[in-house]
């Protein structure tokens, strides 16, 4: 055992040692002095991308280094934010008051044919002096010119206030985005015509505002800011070439995002693009193999006590075979019914991830324990069921009165007859929480009877949950509950029988006639109605928590019926967010809920957005564990909507059948449902109304009342 652990330790230590991330091209200089030089920047032939070449100079007297880009000194290179901090000489003008002569040093910055633009977020035009007008003329990437100016007047130098640049001794003004060239000139204002209020030195520059503090002594001629030839930091943004992502991707020879697992992003405020590592990766996207997987499992809290397994671009939380994560707690527990839940040594189990031998050992122990405990606890189990039945009945009776009329308690005999003694041939499928049989009741109604597979406390809880929630819901697009059976050892649920399979079957099973766009849109609308009803219209607010294509059933007329409420939560209307253990299906799971554990109605909105994306593309959403090179459906979908190239991803059949505006509107709505932050997503009611408007638009797109309600919605959401 000791040796096994030792071996595991060695294996884990080796595989967990972080690979050093490549930052520069092989054989190239990674630093100049203290400054890192990540590719695409570089020094020397073959070490940089065109436009990103730098040089490094060493001062012969003090041995210090200076990194230069053309004439400008580079202070810092930031790869993740795509910025460079440079030193920018200030422009100044000195007035000799006795001769009236000027000496001056006027600078311009010309980045026209470089990858750099001046950041309008970080920099300001700042001028210092008394009785001055400072002008700057700027040209942006489109070759449009701007002139802006600021004026500073002093009656006494002391009247200016430290660190506020407010027009007394110092003035500042913001600059437009995308600037590539500027120059500066001065004029003087002397309205009271008293020369002693006019300073003899005036200076100005574009300055990184966060790095600049005005000091009243600056207006005096010998201050450090005013010292001639002094430089101040300026923040530059940088981009790759002048192309968009799309055109750059067409000819891959010069395409910059060469790392696998990298993505291309267009410049919003100018031309060109940048590359980033995909989600779940970090490093340098401009180098082959530069983006490397993040080991999320280093954060020990990430799986709440279950085993964390790092996967490319993501991670997976799982429990060893024979154990499960409980719905209401942390860690892994053996699948044994006892009065107490039995945690197993998680640390040992982590080792088992790498050693199959240990797994077998754990399994053997579990089987042994199960054999012993199952026998000993058979009596205990029966007692539990009595308790559960009591609890169920109690909760039902305390809920609304009309429930009793709608719900029937079936006897086991009745259901035995209906399903021909639970004949294997009657099995319709295995849902998330049990097996479903087809049955015919004595009054010839066809029903679906759901039977929990394994007897586990958590599943009984879910069963009771489902009965309570379904009994209070009555909606055309939600599967009806006829009743339940409490006599059987395993709880049974009797639902309306829906004949035509799940939406997932219709969309994703090969060789099946695919759904026409008209039907897809209607199914989306009906599902939205059902969810919106659950959220707001029912007597209690219900979050479904497991909305996915395989939980949407279709009847003979392809009417959608929402099913499987095992994971649902009912909440008081005023409870806006409840913290729960994460439940749901990967691929449909709201990333915000996944991260914070806070369940809100927006989590259902996200899952619904995934369904909309599936309806539009007829592709399955990937689970987070299987991110492929091209990324998940959702990531790709959001990208194409934002880049306005929808046709790349839509199901060809949909493109053929659906009107263009309609598809675009649904896509935009989908993107709104899939926003990362819940608060930015549309509410379910809004989604429903929008779908309502979009579907009616096939008939009458220009109808004034529809236009009106659309614009009302726009106002509401903006």
Which residues have a catalytic role annotated? 546
Closest CA to 691 of 544, 487, 461, 523: 523
Cβ neighbours for 669, distance < 8 A, ≥ 6 positions apart: 612, 682, 687, 690, 691, 694
Pairing of strands 262-266, 132-140: unpaired
**Residue 323, beta-bridge partner list:** 334
CB 213 within 8 A of CB 188: no
Q: How far is it, in rounded angstroms, from Cα 560 to Cα 555?
A: 7
Smallest separation, CB 256 to ligand NAG (Å)? 12
Q: Minimum Å distance from CB 435 to ligand NAG?
A: 57
Q: How far apart are CA 620 and CA 605, in angstroms?
A: 18
Spatial CA neighbour of 539 closest among 464, 475, 606, 600:
475
Residue for token pair 């009611």: 685
By residue count, the chain amounts to 718
Phi, psi of 242 (to 5 degrees): -110, 15
Q: What are phi and psi of 302, to 5 degrees?
A: -70, -30
The token pair that represents 34 in the structure block: 């203290």
Question: CB 111 → ligand NAG: shortest distance, Å?
Answer: 8
- Which residues are near ligand NAG by CB under 6 A? 99, 101, 110, 112-113, 181, 251, 253-254
- Alpha carbons within 13 angstroms on the beta-carbon side of residue 26 total 2
Q: How far apart are CA 502 and CA 448, in angstroms?
A: 14
Task: Map tokens 């429903």 to a residue.
Answer: 688
Nearer to ligand NAG, 253 or 718 (CB): 253
Please, which residue, 92 or 181, has the CB nearer to ligand NAG?
Answer: 181
As measured in angstroms, the least distance from the Cβ of 253 to ligand NAG is 4
Instruction: Give the nearest distance from C-beta 171 to ligand NAG in angstroms.
Output: 25
Q: How many CB atoms neighbour CB 279 within 10 A?
A: 17
- 413: alpha, beta or left, given left = phi > 0 and alpha = psi -120 to 50? alpha
Identify the residue whose tokens are 């400072």.
134
Which of residues 253 and 424 has its CB atom nearest to ligand NAG in the complex? 253
Q: Are strands 427-431 and 434-440 parallel, antiparallel or unpaired?
A: antiparallel
CA angle 304, 542, 671 (to 5 degrees): 75
Residue 162 DSSP SS3: coil
Partners of residue 149 on adjacent β-strands: 135
For residue 173, the 8-state DSSP code is: E
Residue 250: CB minimum distance to ligand NAG, A: 8
Tell me if the bond preceding 40 is cis, omega within 30° of 0: yes
Contact 594, 226 (CB under 8 A): no
- Contact 463/455 with Cβ under 8 angstroms? no
Query: Which is nearest to 133 in space by CA: 182, 199, 181, 195?
Result: 199
Of 138 and 448, nearer to ligand NAG (C-beta) is 138
Beta-carbon neighbour count of residue 203 at 10 Å? Answer: 27
* Torsions phi, psi for 157 (to 5 deg): -60, -30
| 711 φ, ψ (degrees, to nearest 5) | -70, -30
Minimum CB distance to ligand NAG smaller for 178 or for 621:
178
Say if CB 438 and CB 430 are below 8 A apart.
no
* Shortest Å distance, C-beta 141 to ligand NAG: 12
Least gap, CB of 276 to ligand NAG (angstroms): 23
Nearer to ligand NAG, 70 or 597 (CB): 70
Alpha carbon distance 534, 234 (integer Å)? 54
Q: What percentage of the chain's residues is helix, strand, coil (to nearest 5)?
A: 35, 25, 40
CB nearer to ligand NAG: give 101 or 229.
101
Query: Closest approach of Cβ 138 to ligand NAG, in Å?
Result: 10
Q: What does each C-alpha distance from 709 to 470, 677, 713 come to in angstroms?
A: 33, 26, 6
User: Is 451 marked as a binding-site residue?
Assistant: yes
Question: Smallest distance, Å, CB 251 to ligand NAG?
Answer: 4
Beta bridge partners of 65: 58
Q: Measure the CA–CA gap between 687 and 681, rounded to whole angstroms.
A: 10
Q: In terms of CB distance, is 247 or 717 closer to ligand NAG?
A: 247
Task: Give the CA radius of gyration of the chain.
Answer: 34
Question: Which CB, 99 or 224, lies closer to ligand NAG?
Answer: 99
Beta bridge partners of 273: 240, 266
Question: CB 113 → ligand NAG: shortest distance, Å?
Answer: 4
> CB-wise, 111 or 214, nearer to ligand NAG?
111
Q: What is the dihedral of CA 200, 205, 210, 213, to 10 degrees?
A: 0
Which CB atom, from 118 or from 277, has the smaller least distance to ligand NAG? 118
- State which residue, 99 or 347, has the beta carbon closest to ligand NAG: 99
Residues 453, 456, 460, 466, Cα dihedral to 10°: -60
Minimum gap (Å) between residue 182 Cβ and ligand NAG:
9
User: Which residues contribute to the annotated binding site for ATP?
Assistant: 451
User: Which residues contribute to the annotated binding site?
Assistant: 451
């Amino acid at each position: 055992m000791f040796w096994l652990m030792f071996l595991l330790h060695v294996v884990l230590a080796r595989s967990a040692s972080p690979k050093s991330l490549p930052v520069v091209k092989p054989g190239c200089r990674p630093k100049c002095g203290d400054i890192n030089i990540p590719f695409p920047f570089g020094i020397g032939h073959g070490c940089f991308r065109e436009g990103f070449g730098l040089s490094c100079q060493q001062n012969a007297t003090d041995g210090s280094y200076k990194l230069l880009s053309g004439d400008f000194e580079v202070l810092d290179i930031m790869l993740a934010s795509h910025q460079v901090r440079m030193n920018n000489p200030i422009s100044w003008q000195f007035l000799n008051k006795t001769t009236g002569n000027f000496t001056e040093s006027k600078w311009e910055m010309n980045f026209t044919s470089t990858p750099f633009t001046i950041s309008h977020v970080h920099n300001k035009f700042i001028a210092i002096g008394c009785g001055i007008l400072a002008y700057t003329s700027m040209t942006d990437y489109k070759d449009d010119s701007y002139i802006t100016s600021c004026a500073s007047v002093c009656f006494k130098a002391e009247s200016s206030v430290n660190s506020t640049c407010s027009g007394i001794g110092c003035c500042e003004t913001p600059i437009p985005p995308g600037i590539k060239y500027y120059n500066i000139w001065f004029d003087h204002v002397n309205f009271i015509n008293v020369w002693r209020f006019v300073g003899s030195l005036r200076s100005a520059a574009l300055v990184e505002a966060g790095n600049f503090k005005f000091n009243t002594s600056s207006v005096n001629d010998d201050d450090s800011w005013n010292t001639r030839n002094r430089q101040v930091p300026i923040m530059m943004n940088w981009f790759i070439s002048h192309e968009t992502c799309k055109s750059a991707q067409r000819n891959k020879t010069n395409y910059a995002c060469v790392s696998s697992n990298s993505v291309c992003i267009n410049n919003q405020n100018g031309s060109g693009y940048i590359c980033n590592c995909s989600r779940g990766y970090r490093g340098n996207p401009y180098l082959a193999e530069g983006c490397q997987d993040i080991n999320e499992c280093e954060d020990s809290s990430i799986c709440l006590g279950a085993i964390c397994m790092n996967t490319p671009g993501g991670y997976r939380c799982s429990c060893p075979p024979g154990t499960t994560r409980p719905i209401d707690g942390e860690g892994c527990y053996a699948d044994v019914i006892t009065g107490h839940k039995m945690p197993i040594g998680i640390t040992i189990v982590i080792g088992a991830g790498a050693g199959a031998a240990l797994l077998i050992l754990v399994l053997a122990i579990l089987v042994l324990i199960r054999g012993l405990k199952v026998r000993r606890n058979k009596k205990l189990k029966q007692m539990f069921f009595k308790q559960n039945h009591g609890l169920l009945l109690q909760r039902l009776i305390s809920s609304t009165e009309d429930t009793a009329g709608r719900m029937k308690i079936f006897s086991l005999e009745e259901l035995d007859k209906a399903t021909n003694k639970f004949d294997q041939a009657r099995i319709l499928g295995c849902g998330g929480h049990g097996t479903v049989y087809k049955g015919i009741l004595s009054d010839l109604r066809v029903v679906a009877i759901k039977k929990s597979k394994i007897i586990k406390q958590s599943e009984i809880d879910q069963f009771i949950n489902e009965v309570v929630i379904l009994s209070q819901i009555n909606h055309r697009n939600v599967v009806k509950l006829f009743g339940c059976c409490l006599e059987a050892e395993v709880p049974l649920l009797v639902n309306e029988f829906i004949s035509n399979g799940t939406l997932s079957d219709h969309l994703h099973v090969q060789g099946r006639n695919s759904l026409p766009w008209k039907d897809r849109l209607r199914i989306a609308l009906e599902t939205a109605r059902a969810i919106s009803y659950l959220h707001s219209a029912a007597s209690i607010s219900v979050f479904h928590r497991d909305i996915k294509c395989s939980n949407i059933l279709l009847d003979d007329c392809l009417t959608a019926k929402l099913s499987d409420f095992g994971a649902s939560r009912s909440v008081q209307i005023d409870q806006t967010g409840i913290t729960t253990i994460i439940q749901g299906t990967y691929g449909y799971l709201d990333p915000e809920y996944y991260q914070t554990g806070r369940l809100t109605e927006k989590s259902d909105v996200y899952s619904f957005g995934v369904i909309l994306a599936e309806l539009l593309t007829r592709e399955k959403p990937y689970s987070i564990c299987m991110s492929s090179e091209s990324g998940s459906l959702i990531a790709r979908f959001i990208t194409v909507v934002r880049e306005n190239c929808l046709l790349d991803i839509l199901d060809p059949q949909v493109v053929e059948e659906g009107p263009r505006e309609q598809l675009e509107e649904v896509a935009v709505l989908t993107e709104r449902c899939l926003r990362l932050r819940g608060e930015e997503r549309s509410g379910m009611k809004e989604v429903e109304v929008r779908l309502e408007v979009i579907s009616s638009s096939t008939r009458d797109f220009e109808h004034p009342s529809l236009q009106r309600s659309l614009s009302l919605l726009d106002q509401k959401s903006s």
